[in-house]
Copies of this chain bind each other. A is one copy, B any other.
Amino acid sequence: MTARLYVSAQEVAERAGVSRSAVSRTFTPGASVSPETRRRVMEAADALGYQVNHLARGLMRNESGIVCLIVSEVATPYRSALLSILTQKLQNAGKVAMLVNTDRSDGSVDRALKQAIRYRADASIIMSGLPDKSITQLCLKNGQRLVLINRDDDQPGPLRINLDDHEAASRVVTAFVRAGCRRLAFANSQAGTPSLMAREHGFVHAARRLGLDVVVERYGWTGYEAGQVLAQRLLTHQDRPDAVFCATDLLACGFMDTARRQFSLSIPDQLCVAGFDDIEQAAWTSYDLTTFAQPVEAIATEAVRWLEDRSLHEERRIQLHADLVWRGSIRGG
């Protein structure tokens, strides 16, 4: 606090007996500097503990190296998995992640994006919520790149990564029917996000095509407790379903637990269950849940590749495939 903080390129230059531009060049990949000068600079820098000031560098270059990750419910298994892999890949690409936590309140995502602009983030990756169009326009106008993961289709934004939720859901129907199930149910949250609704519609439509009816129940937000409540509701139906597709693994876990404890149902003998996301817990032996794997690796790879490739300015839409991970919660297989 008392003395001046941090050591500057100036001080390194003085100690090394060179100009400050020489120091700058030493730390700029691809700049022309003689081996001898570089050596002396590095020596002085190490001795002084010099680190380039990225605030100043970003100011000059108009490129901060910051990528803003906008996400809600970080502590949720799927979200944290995606977050983890994204930050890793960003780091490998020489970027740094700025994490902004949003909530369900109005304007939460907008505030996050403004924060991203203030820090002159090179890009923002939106993993939850939907920004106001005026704000996304502001970002784009300012040259900030935007990636939308599993967001609404009609949102503007250069890169949009989505899954084939609809088609995936129809594959579950096939699996259920093949297992001999006839009374199908869909357990959804009331969040009503596009990907959740796509799963619901895909499931219902595919079932109808086979002449089967589907009981749909929606409750709460996508979590374990909601799954418990949904089980209560669906399993007390007069014509109890023998197969349930849960919009999310977290829902499925809650569903299975109450199905077993409270209704003494054996899975998959009396009830087949499928989920979506392939969170870690889905593989736990207590659940052994057949589910669709979010291609988190591919999502992160695509996002980062697009960010690195400065030539890709145009809008782009990527649809990734969700693999069906077959486990023990559906008969047969």
A: residues with CB less than 8 A from B are 1, 5-7, 49, 51-56, 58-59, 62, 64, 66, 69, 73-77, 79-81, 83-84, 87-88, 91, 96-101, 114-115, 117-120, 138, 141-143, 224, 253-254, 257-258, 261, 280-281, 284-287, 313
Complex Cα distance A32/B112, Å? 28
Complex Cα distance A49/B110, Å? 13
Whether A99 contacts B98 by the Cβ 8 Å rule is yes
When the two chains form the complex, which single residue of B56, B74, B83 contacts A59, counting CB atoms closer than 8 Å? B56
Whether B119 contacts A69 by the Cβ 8 Å rule is no
Closest to A137 in B: B49
Whether A96 contacts B100 by the Cβ 8 Å rule is yes
When the two chains form the complex, which single residue of B6, B98, B119, B286 contacts A286, counting CB atoms closer than 8 Å? B286
Closest to A139 in B: B49
Closest to A72 in B: B84
Q: Which residues of B contact A69 (CB under 8 A)?
A: 99
Instruction: Count the copies.
Output: 2
> Ordered nearest first, which 8 A-B pairs have the shortest CB separation?
A80-B80, A74-B84, A5-B143, A75-B84, A286-B286, A257-B285, A87-B101, A51-B117
Closest to A56 in B: B59
Whether A143 contacts B1 by the Cβ 8 Å rule is yes
Whether A75 contacts B77 by the Cβ 8 Å rule is yes
When the two chains form the complex, which single residue of B83, B257, B285 contacts A284, counting CB atoms closer than 8 Å? B257
5 pairs across A/B with beta carbons < 8 Å?
A53-B59, A53-B118, A55-B56, A75-B77, A83-B99
Q: Which residues of B contact A96 (CB under 8 A)?
A: 98, 100, 115, 119
Closest to A296 in B: B75
When the two chains form the complex, which single residue of B59, B88, B142 contacts A101, counting CB atoms closer than 8 Å? B88
Complex Cα distance A313/B49, Å? 22
Whether A280 contacts B58 by the Cβ 8 Å rule is no
Whether B52 contacts A55 by the Cβ 8 Å rule is no
